A and B are shown apart, each in its own frame.
Chain A
Amino acid sequence: EAGVTQSPTHLIKTRGQQATLRCSPISGHTSVYWYQQALGLGLQFLLWYDEGEERNRGNFPPRFSGRQFPNYSSELNVNALELEDSALYLCASSLKGWLNGETQYFGPGTRLLVL
């Protein structure tokens, strides 16, 4: 069974540009989560999508946004990139996010570098 996939693997952008990151969940999973892992800041929750709806959002500015498509894949968009957005962005999926404590399975991540 295929795991969570993310694309691209690496992304290099300049300040002010927009970045789009993509994630495909494990087959049968309806919930997708996004986390940011910046150097020295640990793993920070960004967004949670379930059944096409945004269910929860972390403490990030509105320029971080996303969506979930009918096939449950998801996109994370980061507008007006800043240097501090450079990080590893991890996507995870779970069977049913509304059941508290569902195991989240992670993808390999997208490394975003903002110059």
Chain B
Amino acid sequence: AQKVTQAQTEISVVEKEDVTLDCVYETRDTTYYLFWYKQPPSGELVFLIRRNSFDEQNEISGRYSWNFQKSTSSFNFTITASQVVDSAVYFCALSDTLGGKLIFGQGTELSVKP
């Protein structure tokens, strides 16, 4: 069965600290896609990144970086020099074998304090 696990329920950091959000997934598919979304208090899910299973290159976008390792089935997300505006719930998701739906982890609530 496909599954996404975000073991960290809540993380609290002080502004300017680096923080890593963990994501571990399970799938038997050879081709699959992984995603990260941000959900601020307003509720809307904001797309951050999409990665396919054949591309293990790490990606950096500003203060955000992602580390994809197939050997450990992990797709971790790091925020460098965190800011208060980064406070949100972050979700990792996996594409379903049958297509269409996303399988989400339980989310990690990040609180960045000034």
- CB of B47 within 8 A of CB of A103, answer yes
Within 8 Å by CB of A55, from B42, B100, B107, lies: B100
- CB of A108 within 8 A of CB of B42, answer yes
Instruction: Write out the residue numbers on chain A whose beta carbons fall within 8 Å of the beta carbon of B101.
Output: 33, 45, 48, 56, 58
Instruction: Write out the residue numbers on chain B whose beta carbons fall within 8 Å of the beta carbon of A104.
Output: 35, 47, 102
CA distance A105 to B37 in the complex (A): 10
Given contacts A100-B95, A101-B33, contact A90 B45 (CB under 8 A): yes
Main DSSP-derived SS at the A contact region? strand
Question: Smallest distance from the beta carbon of A9 to chain B beta carbons, Å?
Answer: 10
CA distance A108 to B97 in the complex (A): 27
Main DSSP-derived SS at the B contact region? loop
Instruction: Write out the residue numbers on chain A whose beta carbons fall within 8 Å of the beta carbon of B102.
Output: 33, 43, 45, 104
Number of residue pairs A-B, CB distance < 8 angstroms: 68
Instruction: Write out the residue numbers on chain B whose beta carbons fall within 8 Å of the beta carbon of A48.
Output: 100-101
CA distance A106 to B102 in the complex (A): 12
CA distance A98 to B100 in the complex (A): 7
Question: Smallest distance from the beta carbon of A114 to chain B beta carbons, Å?
Answer: 18
Instruction: Write out the residue numbers on chain A whose beta carbons fall within 8 Å of the beta carbon of B107.
Output: 42-43
* Count of interface residues, chain B, beta-carbon cutoff 8 Å: 27
- CB of B33 within 8 A of CB of A106, answer no
- CB of A100 within 8 A of CB of B33, answer yes
A76-115 interface code vs B (CB 8 A; 1 in, 0 out): 0000000000001010100001111101111111010000
Question: Smallest distance from the beta carbon of A79 to chain B beta carbons, Å?
Answer: 22
Instruction: Write out the residue numbers on chain B whose beta carbons fall within 8 Å of the beta carbon of A74.
Output: none
Question: Smallest distance from the beta carbon of A43 to chain B beta carbons, Å?
Answer: 4
Within 8 Å by CB of A103, from B44, B50, B99, lies: B50
Question: Smallest distance from the beta carbon of B28 to chain A beta carbons, Å?
Answer: 14
Instruction: Write out the residue numbers on chain B whose beta carbons fall within 8 Å of the beta carbon of A100.
Output: 31-33, 95, 97, 99
